[in-house]
Chains A and B, each alone.
Chain A
Amino acid sequence: MAVARSKVRAIDSDMSSQRPAFNPDLVKAPEAKKKTPLKGPLTVSQVTAIVQRAILDAVPATIHVVGEVSNFKRHSSGHLYFTLKDNSSELSCVMWRSDAARLKFDPENGLEVIASGAVEVFERAGRYQLYTRKLEPKGVGALDLAFRQLCEKLKQEGLFDHNTKKPLPPFPTRIAIVTSPTGAAIADMIRTIQRRYPCVHVLVHAVRVQGETAAGEIASAIRSINRNSKNLGGIDLMIVGRGGGSIEDLWAFNEEVVARAIFASHIPVISAVGHEVDFSVADLVADVRAATPTAAAELAVPELEEVAAGLTGLARRIARATQTHAELATTRVNGAAQKAPLKNPLDLIRRREQILDELEHRMTRTESTQLHDLRKRIENVETTVQRIAPHAYLAKTGGALRDASYRLRWAIDGRMRDAFQKLRHLALTLPATTSHRFDLSREKVRTAETVLGAVSHKSVLGRGFSITRIKKGGKVLRSVKDLTDRQRLITHLADGDVETETVNINQMELFD
């Protein structure tokens, strides 16, 4: 008989080694006796039935067979078909879908396994085969192998890649936790978050964390939270995990469906499975792996006191910088106020008035030289005003000076207007002989007036200057060439006049 001759070794089977030669009469005597003796030709079905009966009688209901997997086929129905072989024999095997679903690892050709099940005849094909109910890899644990196989697969697909890992939000508002609602893990996490950073909203999605349905529940919860994040006000972070246990207890976190759900999550995921030493596939896919549930909570939220201290630090920085800025501005304003034109802003105007008074006086003498001087002096004023170019200065002193400049503008405008009115009046009284020249002067005056008008209020903020005249005749001093020894001079300064006498006249190169 084929079975008896098969070299496929059946282990853990009492009868494997001392199996008697096939003899239906000996095996099941009472039944055999009822049967008619085997006479004449038998039908195929009869032979098959005899063989089936013989096998059922001879082989225990469960045997364990060691061999190498070959011709492995997973049918679309979910049933597995393969052959176990050793050096000289082969044994057909089938594993129904319901049993195959419990396999943690993927059987593959060449894998040394121990298959457990019953040998029966498949009547239609006239073939005996091992109806495998359990399959274990030989040498390694099934779970270890499954873990290795899944890791290999997911790694190749890039699920463990570091550049796909999402950063954790530094200050989460809403944290979802996928775990068992009872037990130490959830209690540890809640206590830790409460202690560190109690200003968050924790949402617990209760799932079974071990048993047949666990992986599916965990994966579904992860997807559901992602889908509903918006409705829940925005989930910033998710913790997926459970407390310690055996490798079987933790197995759900090594299932592909959980790994894929974690990878697909757009919410950052912290995994927290078991203890420090436990490493799960979920840990490898998660954005951050925490050694324990407590560690996960610590990674999830900052320490409130540290955050508060950081905030105080920032507030201090801002206050200090603002104070420094204000002090700097005050110093600038004070500095500006110390400058002469600001101290006595009307002096500039008065000096110009004085010049105009003098011009008036001299114009009454209707001398053309004096008209010339008049023009020169107006030009002088014009140049001075232009040179002052006070925009930058004013911009620096800023708002604090606004009031002063506003008042100044009034004063200057008024006085300027008066002065030019006087000039115009004088011009009208000039004799006809000088009227032409005066017209020219008046043109200059108008130009000056325009310029002054445009910048008048700003001009007083500029630098001070002085004018020196020869006392006799009042001629403005422009060159040492105009001087003789022991000559009396009047110098107009910002706050008054001074009379001096020349002592030493040196004509020099200009060093300015």
Chain B
Amino acid sequence: MSKKKLSFEQALDQLETIAEQIEQGKIGLEESIEKYEEGMGLVKQCRDILSKAEMKIQKLQERADGTLETARFAKPKT
């Protein structure tokens, strides 16, 4: 499973699903525990995303061929 590729939103959706599955009690105990561990892994992934507290700001520049490249952006002073 390529769990790393889940977006934040997908990870949250997955967590919601896991919570519902365990709460409904339709799955066995062993599966519950597996889901619990998967859930805690996702929670950690989400926290990691949120803790990237350094906002990245770049400038987009048009190349001659119509593609865009990124460059350093100087924050305007206010």
Contact = CB atoms under 8 A, between A and B. Distances in A.
A and B, one complex?
Answer: yes
Interface of A: 169-171, 173, 176, 181-184, 186-188, 190-191, 193-194, 198-206, 221, 224-225, 227-228, 231-232, 304, 307-308, 310-311, 314-315, 317-319, 321-322, 325-326, 328-329, 398-399
Contacts of A181: 59, 73, 76
Contact of A187 (B16, B40, B78): B78
Interface string B34-57: 011001100100110111111111
B27 to A, nearest CB: 8
Given A198-B54, A199-B52, A232-B70, 7 more contacts: A184-B78, A190-B75, A201-B56, A224-B60, A227-B67, A318-B35, A321-B23
19 contacts: A170-B9, A173-B7, A199-B51, A200-B55, A201-B55, A202-B57, A205-B60, A231-B68, A308-B47, A310-B12, A314-B16, A315-B15, A318-B36, A318-B39, A319-B40, A322-B33, A322-B35, A325-B25, A328-B25
A181 B23 CA distance: 50
Given A193-B55, A201-B58, A326-B32, A318 B40 contact: yes
A336 to B, nearest CB: 14
A191 B75 CA distance: 10
A502 to B, nearest CB: 50
Contact of A326 (B8, B33, B67): B33
Interface string B5-29: 0011100100110110011010011
Contacts, number: 133
B55 A314 contact: no
A301 B73 CA distance: 20
B61 to A, nearest CB: 8
User: Which one of B12, B19, B56 has the highest number of Cβ atoms from chain A below 10 Å of its Cβ?
Assistant: B19
A221 B66 CA distance: 10
A206 B74 CA distance: 12
Contact of A204 (B19, B60, B62, B66): B60
B57 A224 contact: no
A292 B70 CA distance: 26
A193 B54 CA distance: 11
B68 A224 contact: yes
A213 B11 CA distance: 43
B9 to A, nearest CB: 5
Given A224-B68, A232-B70, A176 B60 contact: yes
Nearest to A223: B66
Nearest to B78: A187
A225 B47 contact: no
A262 B22 CA distance: 44
Contact of A203 (B18, B46, B70): B70
A399 B58 contact: no
B3 to A, nearest CB: 16
Given A190-B75, A314-B16, A326-B29, A199 B49 contact: yes
Given A181-B76, A315-B43, A227 B55 contact: no
